[in-house]
């Protein structure tokens, strides 16, 4: 019988929105907990700003990846898997990789494996689209679906284009991706949206949580919000204030990624 102490570290960017923490991050952690009952499941954030804010505002401490792994070592865990809840392999994923590799060099654990973000291998894009398709099934095909992605200057911004291509190839030509901090911006896809003659646009966060970007940049009444910009262009707009972490379909994708990582590690360590 294998009596090794085993743990899973679930890592997200983090959020200071209490509802988003509960409905997206905690919900996904709980889905992982349920799928892997033999493992202790812990939490870490990659955003030092969020960690500081929660500490100062709520006196609530969340570990960094480095802190969490050190604690697991001190508590005698021998087998640890790190599952990011990040969507792309961008700057935040790089931070996790650096932290995990620095701990690996110390030989703290018999097994320390880093799993992948949501969009990494080619099949991940198909799986993500299928999950999305289930989540948007209630919207009419004559309505546009605009996904708000975070976006980045990192080369991983190209992930959104691959997902967009998968959506088109699968017949979902009404699904469009724009970014807050990358390419394309919402303004840059307006000509395309107009050419489609949509009756209505549904704005949906393609982010783990419904936090600051979704609440303010997407759905607020501010003149520079996506909602205001699109309404100013004559569109009827519906804002969906849910992160993908609230979707059981996307929660299952993270569970599957982790299961694959554990299976691969087991075959490598035989």
Catalytic residues: 150
| 78 φψ region: left (φ > 0), alpha (ψ -120 to 50), beta (else) | alpha
List the structure tokens of 20.
């988003």
Q: What share of the chain is helix, strand, coil (3-state, %, to 5)?
A: 50, 15, 35
Positive or negative, the Cα torsion across 256, 262, 265, 269? negative
Query: Which alpha helices (H) appear in the chain, and where do they start and end?
Result: 18-20, 27-35, 48-58, 65-74, 91-104, 122-135, 158-169, 186-195, 212, 226-232, 248-268
Cβ partners under 8 Å of residue 21, min gap 6:
15, 209
Cβ partners under 8 Å of residue 267, min gap 6:
none
Cβ partners under 8 Å of residue 37, min gap 6:
none
How far apart (Å, rounded) are the C-alpha atoms in residues 128 and 130? 5
Question: With contact defined as beta carbons under 8 Å apart, do 189 and 183 qualify?
Answer: no
């Amino acid at each position: 019988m294998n009596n090794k102490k085993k743990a899973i570290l679930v890592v997200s960017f983090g959020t200071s929105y209490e509802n988003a923490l509960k409905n997206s991050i905690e919900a996904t952690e709980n889905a992982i907990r349920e799928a892997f009952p033999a493992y202790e499941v812990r939490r870490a954030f990659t955003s030092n700003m969020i960690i500081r804010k929660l500490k100062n505002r709520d006196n609530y401490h969340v570990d960094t990846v480095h802190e969490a792994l050190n604690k697991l070592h001190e508590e005698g865990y021998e087998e640890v898997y790190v599952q990011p809840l990040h969507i792309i392999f961008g700057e935040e994923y790089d931070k996790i990789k650096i932290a995990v590799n620095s701990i690996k060099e110390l030989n703290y654990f018999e097994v320390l494996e880093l799993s992948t973000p949501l969009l990494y291998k080619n099949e991940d894009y198909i799986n993500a689209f299928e999950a999305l398709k289930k989540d948007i099934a209630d919207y009419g095909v004559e309505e546009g679906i605009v996904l708000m992605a975070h976006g980045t200057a990192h080369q991983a911004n190209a992930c959104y284009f691959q997902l967009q291509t998968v959506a088109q190839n699968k017949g979902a030509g009404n699904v469009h991706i724009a970014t807050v901090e990358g390419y394309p911006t919402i303004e840059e896809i307006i000509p395309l949206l107009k050419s489609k003659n949509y009756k209505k646009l549904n704005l949906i966060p393609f982010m783990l949580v419904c936090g600051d970007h979704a609440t303010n940049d997407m759905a607020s009444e501010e003149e520079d919000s996506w909602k205001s910009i699109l309404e100013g262009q004559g569109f009827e707009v519906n804002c969906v204030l849910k992160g993908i972490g609230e979707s059981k379909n996307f929660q299952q994708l993270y569970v599957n990624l982790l299961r694959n990582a554990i299976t691969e590690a087991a075959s490598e360590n035989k």
